[in-house]
Structure 1
Amino acid sequence: MTVPSKVLYASEPALDVAEFRRVLVESGLGETRPVDDEARLKAMLDNANLVLTARLDVDGKPLVGVARAITDFSWVCYISELAVSKSAQGLGVGMGLMDEARRQLGPSVAISLISMPDAVGFYERIGMQRMTDAFWFGRQR
């Protein structure tokens, strides 16, 4: 992929499920998300109250990144997914999505997430602090 002249970042609460699914699959997160369950993907989007997108500024404005989050817009934001298509990885799209989240949330809102093991270095490089006291009840399906 050639480096785009511009990546457009926006809040997109009505993101199309098929586009969301495509980016999850292309990013590698499709292995850990219910990409074959359209109803569940739709519920994931419908119940997130912050959905940010990254689109290339070329014909058709293709989606190359998504950040999906739950937040109170006052104290904390939990990033459920930060997915960037493999063809756009390394172009600054993930950092751009995180910067857009920080811009929209403001400096008084903390951002937290649980990283996939192979993405830990990315979060460290963009300045996120690693936390040791996280807890988890796993899902049954």
Structure 2
Amino acid sequence: MAIKYKVNEPITTDQFIDLLERSTLGERRPIEDYDCMAGMVSNSNLMITAWNDDILVGIARSVTDFHYACYLSDLAVHQDYQKLGIGKRLQALTQEQLGPRCKLILIAAPAANSYYGPIGYSQNDRCWVLEPGTQILTE
């Protein structure tokens, strides 16, 4: 099996949803909201994909300025293709697209939290999340 990696190869919303379902990341993404999923695909400005022939088997989907910060929003590998180094390669290829000062930033899924430290990430406890519908307190 020869996995091919592509930078910013167009994918369909259906391909993205299918991969998320087959990677278990779909459990933490709004896959039932097609418009949201379509927006996630169309508004990403850096996507590295992994392919086995014409089957999408992995993705690193990011939003970045390419110079200072790159938020790796989704890292997903099809369950049948996990433990083959595809996820690490997707991250390395993402990093290659970035400028020398650009940080790769992500929020780990609970089950994947221990994955990132051994491959070079440092943990940061200063991440904050404002959930949809929560109002910023101005007074």
TM-score, L = length of structure 2: 0.89
Query: Which of 76, 82, 88 is the aligned partner of 1:83?
Result: 76
Indicate the residue corresponding to 1:127 in structure 2.
Answer: 120
Indicate the residue corresponding to 2:102 in structure 1.
Answer: 109
1:8-47 pair list within 5 angstroms:
8-12=4-8, 14-47=10-43
Q: Which residue identity lines up with residue 40 of structure 1 in the other structure?
A: C
Check the 8 A contact 2:9/2:49 in 1, yes or no.
no
Aligned partners of 2:81, 2:132: CA distance in 1, in Å?
30
Which structure has the greater CA radius of gyration?
A: 2
SS of aligned partner of 1:132: coil
SS of aligned partner of 1:90: coil
Aligned partners of 1:13, 1:76: CA distance in 2, in Å?
22
Aligned partners of 2:44, 2:66: CA distance in 1, in Å?
12
Indicate the residue corresponding to 2:85 in structure 1.
Answer: 92
Q: How many residues of Structure 1 are paired with residues of Structure 2 in the alignment?
A: 133
Q: Extract unaligned runs of 5+ from structure 2.
A: 134-139
Aligned partners of 1:49, 1:8: CA distance in 2, in Å?
20
Query: Which of 69, 72, 77 is the aligned partner of 2:65?
Result: 72
> Once superposed, which parts of structure 1, at least 4 consecutive aligned residues long, lie more than 6 Å away?
none
Q: Extract unaligned runs of 5+ from structure 1.
A: none
Question: Cα RMSD (Å) of the superposition?
Answer: 1.3
Aligned partners of 2:130, 2:23: CA distance in 1, in Å?
25
SS of aligned partner of 2:75: strand
State the identity as a percent. 35
Q: Does 1:52 align with 2:48?
A: yes
